[in-house]
Amino acid sequence: MSDIITIIPNTEIQGIVIRLTERNHPGNVTIIGFVVSKPRQIHLFLSESEYNLALTAYHQRLPVVCTGDLIKENDTFVLKKTTSFALDDTLTERAAV
């Protein structure tokens, strides 16, 4: 099913930050999140404050949650029109138990 998806508007993705681009394009982030029950790499561009939060999540291996339009471009998933990016408190609390 994830192979035929081209766009899922206004969707929430939970995941883990796996890559940050700091040099040429600060704000570019890659997370691993589930798309139709399969783990996929998802690329997104964040504001400076959201990028700083992603940096913290990356170094501390904390889960994140973000919302936007999930688009498949050339076999790559991209979250565009990101409306929120935050630490996923529900997953963080469960991991602490």
How large a percentage of the chain has pLDDT more than 90?
Answer: 64
CATH number at residue 73: 2.40.50
- pLDDT digit string (tens) for 60-77? 999 999 999 999 988 899
To the nearest 10°, the Cα dihedral for 14, 61, 40, 10? Answer: 30
CA–CA separation, 37 vs 64, rounded Å?
Answer: 17
pTM over 0.95: no
Total domain count, the chain: 1
pLDDT reported for residue 3: 57
Residue 16, domain member (yes or no): yes
Residue 82, domain member (yes or no): yes
Residue 18, domain member (yes or no): yes
Q: Which domain holds residue 44?
A: 7-96
- pLDDT digit string (tens) for 18-35? 999 876 667 899 999 998
Residue 2, domain member (yes or no): no
